[in-house]
């Protein structure tokens, strides 16, 4: 999005407001971007300016102070790039004065403006795609869709962002991209809603919000057919059943791994236009390895309608870790989604002989005819199908060269999948040299000898039954206190790395959780780390209730399910090992 030489102006003592923040352009030069279909959507300013943002409550002011050193953002800036979808240009026009330096100014800042324009391109597409020609005219209700994004370079704080989006649950936020050891992190200084301020501590005020862009569309069902080709490749056909809760959209945004190449997107049988756009560096989306996909429909969507959306894509979302293990999804989300939402899943996988695959849901014996009849299986190729027993927030699978063992918690089947080895990055055992004193006949002098003793690498498969039994006991303990286990079965699968994660009916369990007490000692773990390493199994099992059956309403509540899972695992530890419980506490 280039700057327009003919729209460069001098500006002085101009102020404009967007909800909770106030921007002043004291003295300087401003250039506006070229218009798109009659809309001017951006500007670049150089000179003296100031931004003022006052967070609405103690929590947000404390957060702002943590990052900036002050509870209120009041910063003078030297440059600012603005992106908007409203009448900002018309609002500022009465205060603009012509200048003879237009061509020079636009040339100086044009590349900077182009680079910054990419950040908001998809968001503006959502707005202006409603004006695209359509064969089915549709008059939507007046849509209060307003966006202003300012990237300013402050005198003290450097480059940072302030943002207003009327369609978001939290319409105002401010933050800054930071780098730590070469990796980008986005610090959110403050984020809050204009509709609802936090209730006083101890009150029971309802903190709910009305429909937003995120929840206007519900994905009720996924039907996914995937062909997995280790060590890296995956081809996917995904059919999404959408329910339009609040109409008026022409473009929908989905999250998908940046390593997936989309071949086609269809609504029913009609091919749709789409854009696969890179996520903003440092954000959680980018750190998950995902990008945004914008899907443009031939007409504006209507409230109450249902439609099928068909994605075909392929790419490298797997990586080989050694020891018969794979990193699945380590390079982003493998199916299109719009954030956490409760959906039904019907998953079918084709995968080669010699591998074992397990997924969320209950395994069924009958593959769907549409995949099995369409293409014959190659020799030794396997097909597996899993169906969720109820709507769940997310779905996943794991693949490896596993051995399988089973335990039971009442009617619940607890299956554990573990390989005979560990990933290449797993800590190696110690190597020690021990001097031997051999037995020799009397009168002969023994020759000194040493023997090298190498601690063997762990074999998780040897301890798989213990892991299954541990989880089964946790299910029985929690079921007595929290209610029946939510699913018919639970699968625990070995995963490379130090982090474990619980998904509905499927737990990705770190190789460290499969260690025996002796193996933990050989790795020189402290007593507390030993106990916590074994307690991970109970913690992730507790997530089947806290996080999967009962989820959080927003990211502000997410800590609660982690806290409840920690508390649950400590309850179990206290009942089984009071001494270990005291050590941990």
What is the pLDDT of the chain when averaged over all its residues?
A: 86
- The proportion of the chain whose per-residue pLDDT surpasses 70, expressed as a percent, equals 85
pLDDT for 373: 43
One-letter-per-residue 3-state SS of 142-195: CCCCCEEEEEEEECCCEEEEEEEECCCCCCEEEEEEEEECCEEEEEEEEEECCC
pTM of the model as a whole: 0.84
CA-based end-to-end distance of the chain = 57
**Alpha carbon distance 508, 461 (integer Å):** 15
Domain boundaries, the chain: 3-192, 217-392, 402-424+458-584
**Alpha carbon distance 176, 68 (integer Å):** 10
Q: Token pair for residue 447?
A: 């020759």
CATH architecture of 217-392: Sandwich (2.60)
Which of helix, strand or coil describes residue 130?
A: helix
| CATH superfamily of domain region 402-424+458-584 | Neutral Protease Domain 2 (1.10.390.10)
Which of helix, strand or coil describes residue 356?
A: strand
C-alpha angle with apex 540: 397 to 583, nearest 5 degrees? 150
What single-letter DSSP state applies at residue 353? T
Within this chain, domains 217-392 and 402-424+458-584 share the same CATH topology: no
Q: Token pair for residue 349?
A: 């996988």
Q: Which residue has the tokens 């899993």?
A: 386
pLDDT for 47: 97
* pLDDT, tens digit, 9 for 90 and up, residues 426-470: 776 554 544 555 555 555 555 555 555 455 677 888 899 999 999
* pLDDT, tens digit, 9 for 90 and up, residues 391-430: 999 899 999 999 999 999 999 999 999 998 887 777 765 5
Please choose, from the candidates 52, 324, 327, the residue with its C-alpha nearest in 3D space to the C-alpha of residue 190. 52
pLDDT for 162: 97
**Alpha carbon distance 556, 164 (integer Å):** 19
Q: Token pair for residue 58?
A: 């103690």
- Over 70: is that where the pLDDT of 582 sits? yes
Please choose, from the candidates 21, 31, 148, the residue with its C-alpha nearest in 3D space to the C-alpha of residue 96. 31
What single-letter DSSP state applies at residue 380? T
Q: What would the mean pLDDT of 498-515 be, rounded to a whole number?
A: 89
* pLDDT, tens digit, 9 for 90 and up, residues 3-19: 999 999 999 999 999 98
Q: Token pair for residue 585?
A: 């506490």
């Amino acid at each position: 999005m280039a700057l327009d030489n003919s729209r460069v102006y001098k500006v002085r003592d101009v102020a404009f407001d967007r909800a909770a923040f106030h921007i002043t352009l004291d003295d300087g030069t401003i250039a506006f971007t070229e218009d798109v279909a009659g809309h001017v959507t951006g500007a670049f300013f150089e000179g003296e300016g100031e931004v003022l943002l006052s967070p609405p409550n103690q929590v947000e002011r404390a957060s702002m102070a943590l990052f900036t050193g002050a509870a209120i953002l009041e910063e003078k800036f030297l440059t600012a790039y603005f992106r908007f979808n409203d009448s900002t240009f018309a609002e500022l026009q009465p205060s603009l004065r012509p200048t003879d330096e237009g061509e020079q100014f636009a040339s100086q800042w044009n590349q900077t403006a182009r680079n910054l324009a990419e950040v908001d391109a998809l968001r503006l597409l959502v707005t202006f795609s409603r004006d695209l020609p359509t064969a089915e005219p549709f008059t939507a209700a007046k849509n209060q869709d307003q966006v202003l994004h300012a990237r300013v370079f402050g005198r003290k704080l450097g480059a940072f962002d302030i943002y207003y989006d009327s369609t978001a649950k939290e319409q105002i936020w401010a933050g800054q991209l930071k780098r730590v050891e070469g990796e980008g992190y986005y610090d959110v200084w403050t984020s809050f809603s204009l509709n609802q301020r936090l209730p006083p501590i101890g009150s029971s005020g309802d903190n709910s919000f009305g429909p937003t862009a995120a929840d206007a569309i519900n994905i009720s069902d996924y039907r996914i057919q995937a062909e997995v080709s280790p060590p890296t490749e995956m081809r996917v056909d995904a059919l999404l059943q959408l329910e339009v809760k609040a109409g008026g959209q022409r473009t929908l945004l989905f999250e998908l791994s940046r390593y997936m190449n989309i071949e086609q997107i269809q609504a029913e049988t009609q091919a749709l236009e789409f854009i696969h756009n890179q996520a903003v560096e440092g954000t959680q989306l980018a750190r998950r390895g995902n990008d945004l996909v914008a899907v443009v429909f031939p007409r504006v969507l209507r409230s109450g309608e249902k439609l099928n959306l068909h994605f075909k894509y392929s790419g490298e979302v797997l990586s080989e870790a050694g020891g018969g293990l794979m990193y699945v999804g380590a390079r982003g989300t493998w199916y299109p989604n719009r954030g956490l939402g409760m959906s039904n899943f019907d998953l079918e996988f084709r995968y080669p002989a010699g591998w074992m695959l397990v997924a969320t849901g209950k395994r069924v014996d009958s593959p769907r005819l549409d995949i099995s009849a369409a293409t014959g299986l190659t020799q030794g190729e396997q097909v597996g199908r899993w169906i969720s027993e109820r709507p769940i927030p997310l779905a996943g699978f794991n693949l490896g060269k596993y051995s399988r063992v089973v335990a039971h918690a009442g009617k619940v089947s607890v299956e554990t999948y573990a390989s005979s080895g560990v990933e290449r990055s797993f800590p190696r055992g110690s190597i020690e040299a021990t001097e031997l004193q051999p037995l020799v006949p009397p009168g002969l002098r023994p020759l000194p000898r040493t023997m090298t003793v190498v601690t063997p690498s762990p074999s998780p498969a040897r301890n798989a039954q213990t892991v299954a039994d541990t989880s089964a006991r946790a299910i029985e303990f929690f079921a007595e206190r929290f209610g029946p286990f939510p699913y018919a079965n639970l699968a625990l699968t070995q995963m490379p790395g130090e982090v474990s994660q619980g998904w509905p009916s499927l737990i990705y369990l770190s190789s460290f959780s499969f260690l025996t007490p002796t193996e933990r000692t050989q790795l020189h773990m402290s007593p507390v780390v030993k106990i916590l390493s074994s307690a991970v199994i109970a913690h992730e099992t507790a997530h089947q209730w806290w996080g999967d059956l009962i989820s959080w309403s927003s990211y502000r509540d997410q800590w609660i399910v982690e806290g409840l899972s920690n508390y649950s695992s400590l309850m179990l530890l206290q009942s089984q090992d009071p001494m270990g419980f005291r050590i941990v506490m």
